[in-house]
């Protein structure tokens, strides 16, 4: 099966399900699940090349939002998240919203 054919199958199945965004998740070195959302209209680019994130994303700890200096990682440089599209599983969801109050 060609990659283009696979892409067309994935895109059609997402469109048929009424899905507009695909969330690409990864577990970083601090054991935090992180993610990026990709709009279906941009999926063709990400399908082939993956999604780019800063290399420093792998060196962010749980306790604060900055790269740990000892990792040697920084904001320069990029790594790619290349999904295994054969493992794509649409999840059931409900679209609801609610308001909340903020208390001090």
Question: Dihedral, CA atoms, 10, 13, 19, 25, nearest 10 degrees?
Answer: -40
Asked if residue 55 belongs to a domain, the reply is yes
Range of the domain at 47: 3-83
The model's pTM: 0.68
Asked if residue 62 belongs to a domain, the reply is yes
pLDDT tens per residue, range 32-87? 888 888 899 998 888 878 888 888 787 787 787 788 878 777 777 788 888 887 78
Asked if residue 16 belongs to a domain, the reply is yes
Asked if residue 11 belongs to a domain, the reply is yes
Q: Among candidates 85, 76, 80, 73, which has minimal Cα distance to 30?
A: 73
CATH number of the domain within which 51 lies: 3.10.20.70
**Alpha-carbon span 4 to 19, nearest angstrom:** 20
Asked if residue 95 belongs to a domain, the reply is no
Block residue for tokens 């892409």: 7
Asked if residue 47 belongs to a domain, the reply is yes
Split into its structural domains, the chain has a count of 1
């Amino acid at each position: 099966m060609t990659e283009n054919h696979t892409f067309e199958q994935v895109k059609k199945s997402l469109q048929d399900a009424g899905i507009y965004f695909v969330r690409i998740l990864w577990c970083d070195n601090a054991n935090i699940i992180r993610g990026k959302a990709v709009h279906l209209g941009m999926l063709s680019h990400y399908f082939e090349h993956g999604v780019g994130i800063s290399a420093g994303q792998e060196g962010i700890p749980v306790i604060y939002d900055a790269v740990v200096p000892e990792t040697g990682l920084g904001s320069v440089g990029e790594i790619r998240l290349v999904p295994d599209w054969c493992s794509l599983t649409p999840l059931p969801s409900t679209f609801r919203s609610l308001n909340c109050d903020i208390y001090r």
